[in-house]
Structure 1
Amino acid sequence: MLKYNMLNIPLTKSIENQIEFDIIELNDLLKLASWKDLESPHRLDFNLIMIVIEGEGIQNIDFKSYEYSKGTIFFVKSHQALSFKMNANLKCFFLEFTDNFLNKLIKNNIHNIFDYMKYPVNMQLSDSHFNDVINNINLLIEQLKIPVDDFKELILQSLLQSLLLQLTRNRILESLPLNNKEQKLYSDFIHLVHNSHTYTDQVNDYSKKLNISVRTLSNILYKYTNKSTKVYLDEFLLLEIKRYLLDDTLTLQEISNNLNFDEPTNLVKFFKRLEKQTPIKFKKRVRQI
């Protein structure tokens, strides 16, 4: 049986350019991984914004398929599962940057742009907004060509921040805004979940860490995501299991250990309850997509 290793693609950072930000095109990405590798599920070791300039096709992110055309933008957070349905006519920009680079920008609502549990991973730009975004990207590309000095990274951060604010404006129009206190609590909760959530972590554990009641936490989650805290945590854990399952170098026992299931049978029960199929059937289905 063919074994699949989950490919991790690194940031295309040159030795002389230690800035953790870059803009590449499809041909550049094909220098890091083969066409076949990109069509198989893989993970990126950085955050990615993909902006389609020409071409139509399908992109798979976290086991769901999304159509794209000119003006489509995909937001992919580091370590999400990604696979391309490769299209020779596709022209696009890939903006890639690390969490470290992103954390140097102003907080505001920028970080939530990658909140894939709340927002769709894709967005369609109007023609006018598309032109504005491309103009901003061209400024970033010109700045990347300049030799590194004391100002280059700061200017790149400023230009990227401007671009992310443009895109965030569109994103937040689709949702009910939170007040500053709620926003901080929500952001702190997301940080805790994305960095350490396992099967043994319960809603009550998070409310204690955030020093708020279970009810307050649930109200904020429901207001912001239209999901209860329990549903949110279960869906997040399900995604983590799916990502682990794509790596055939890991046994079910190892995945169970990583996510604090006391035994693999409980992981299987959890998975079947939410996904309506076994982990083995899920792996077979994903390999056929």
Structure 2
Amino acid sequence: MSIGSKPALLGDRKPPRRRHLYEGRTKTLFDGPDPGTFVLYFKDNCKKQDGVSVIGKGVINNRLSEMFMVRLNEIGVQTHLIRRLNMREQLVRATQNLPCHVIVHNLAIDNFAKRLGLEEGMLLPEAIPEFHVKSKDYAESVISERHITALGWADEDELDCIKEMTQRINDFLCGQFIALGLRLIRYQLEFGRVYLSDYMGDTQIVLIDEISADSCCVLDIESGERLDIDSLSGEDLGHCDQRSRYQKLAEKFGLLKAGGPADLLIREEIL
């Protein structure tokens, strides 16, 4: 940085040039520096509004997802995370993503409650995972396990692995949140297939994508306040300070000091 120049906002920084693999609303995937690796870049784009940035949310989501993935790896749940590279990027294992994802419901809210005629906010007797097609056009389409096996998206053994992993992940995450006075209402999990050798059958199912403020619906038990963006719609999105919701969740997990991140105006970490 030259003398007299102003530090750049992290939201103004562009990802370094590398082979582009996928562009999503909130993340970008690049080819990694080594064979069998990808680089996952977390953006500041609002998950529910086109053309709107929430400055610093990519940094927070990166740190939250790293924390959860590291902790899950420590208890034996295999994830794609290798390590966090800097404030916005993670080095992850290259995977073949499954065309469906899992939404885990611990409380009945929104469309889930309406579909089943349940009271809004009802605490479910046990977690209910649902499989959905990974598509914005069919986001509310619930599919069965038979859809997944019949269409060749996963075999029976892989499906059993996904269900077992989902149960372990839910038990672990609910404990992490409840210890901080938070209720994990609903969240999304994505899984992928890692090829361990040149033999096609030598594969492993791992948790991929992210576990962050963008993929979780969270309730502060004491205040009754929702700390996620999914609870907002229409005019509420424009009037609400969206960044504060990301900051509050990160503060709860000790990733930020009270008052907000002090590193939003400084240069990227260089490791």
Q: TM-score, with normalisation over the residues of structure 2?
A: 0.31
Larger RCO: 1 or 2 (CA < 8 Å, sep 6+) = 2
